[in-house]
Structure 1
Amino acid sequence: MGAIRSPHMKVICPTAFDLRTLDANGPEDEEGIRRATELVHSLLEQEINNGIPSNRIVLGGFSQGGALALYSALLFPKPLAGVIALSCWLPLHKNFPAAAVANTDIPYIQCHGDCDPIVPYKWGQMTAFLMKQFLKHTEFKTYRGMMHSSSDEEMRDLKTFLDKVTPPE
């Protein structure tokens, strides 16, 4: 994170939820996802109560953390600056777009390697396709040859995204 975090940014990394299976048709830990979302929402509220405007907060994560970031942002009632979703999918995707109560008008960047053996690239593609149907500003970036990891190119893209959505005041 140090390579893409500007000096005026703070980074918080909460724990995600229980991943029961990586089978696309397998059961999801709905209760765990909701509990983790409540934790993320409480962390966001703490930052807002400490004086950071919600529209200066970017929510993001990798893998399960990215899934949680997507889900949490769409259910958070206050506007955010943007969302970063890396090598992930939208959990409980069958509930969307109906479940999206907020943050459909903010920038989302979703990044995925086309050789990911853990979270299949097609999951990222399906999530991007779904999100484009109800989000106004979403971008899906593919990284050739990248597995379940990151790359210098991805980090450069994220730095550009962060600089755009959270410029220094």
Structure 2
Amino acid sequence: MALLECIEIEPAQPAVASVIWLHGLGASGHDFEPIVPELQLPADLPVRFIFPHAPNIPVTVNGGMVMPAWYDILAMDIDRKVDESGVLASADAIDDLIEREIQRGIPSNRIIIAGFSQGGAVAYQCALRHPKPLAGLLTLSTYMAIPVALSETNAHLPVMVSHGTMDPVVPEQLGQRAVASLQQMGLSPDYRTYPMEHMVCLEQIREIGKWISECLMPDA
């Protein structure tokens, strides 16, 4: 299968780590492209950012309209019915991008998986089950769409979860449920909330930048 089309932002120096960041429903890889400089990563931490584009598929809750989506959204209720096969297929597609980074010389434990909203649901599935050790999992304004079996290699995976307290699209309750699930797996997610709706804010982006640096900087 062909790799997903992606936007790639290369650092000034050869990359020593990678962040694969998934956008939300109806958006594209361009959505989070502008945040890279706002993360204010250290100059001595050259990170490649990869922003894949979701495929265009019909989305049930939008009347079957074709749009970029990681999987079909079948219902909008809080205990929503989920397109499980779609979630798994997209997670597999991100696995392929992880493998490409490894082939390009980035060890798996120097790769962070990130996702916003629908992309975050795929990020959960991809990172937690991944058979190789990863550097971290970052999820924003999202939920755990389907159960996932945590791989032994990622039993101590650093996880940062953030959510807007006024989110009308993905209620914070769903973010809290995901955190509870992570804790039941034995993980210790760093959960942060911000007074915002279904979006990101500068304070959050700066804190994400610090978290990425902590995950990727070599031990002193």
Counterpart-to-counterpart distance in 2, 1:67 and 1:147: 18
The answer on whether the counterparts of 1:22 and 1:119 sit within 8 Å (CA) in structure 2 is no
Q: Determine which of 76, 79, 85 is the counterpart of 1:22.
A: 76
Equivalent positions of 1:81-96 (< 5 A) are 81-92=135-146, 95-96=147-148
Shift of 1:18: 2.1
* Partner SS state of residue 35, structure 1: helix
Which residue in the other structure is 2:215 paired with?
A: 165
Question: Taking every aligned residue pair, what percent have the same amino acid on both sides?
Answer: 34
Which residue in the other structure is 1:13 paired with?
A: 51
Offset from partner CA, 1:117-164 (integer Å, 9 cap, x none):
0001110111111211214331111112x1000111111110110110
Q: Determine which of 120, 123, 139 is the counterpart of 2:171.
A: 120
Runs (4+) off by over 6 Å: none
Which residue in the other structure is 1:76 paired with?
A: 130
Q: What are the ranges of 5 or more consecutive residues in structure 2 without an aligned counterpart?
A: 1-34, 55-69
Q: Which letter does structure 2 place at the counterpart of 1:90?
A: M
Q: What are the ranges of 5 or more consecutive residues in structure 1 without an aligned counterpart?
A: none
Which residue in the other structure is 2:192 paired with?
A: 141
* Partner SS state of residue 197, structure 2: coil
Which residue in the other structure is 2:87 paired with?
A: 33
Counterpart-to-counterpart distance in 2, 1:13 and 1:20: 25
More strand by share: 2
Whose Rg is larger?
2
1:150 maps to 2:185: no
Offset from partner CA, 1:33-86 (integer Å, 9 cap, x none):
111011000100010111100011000011011111111101110011101100
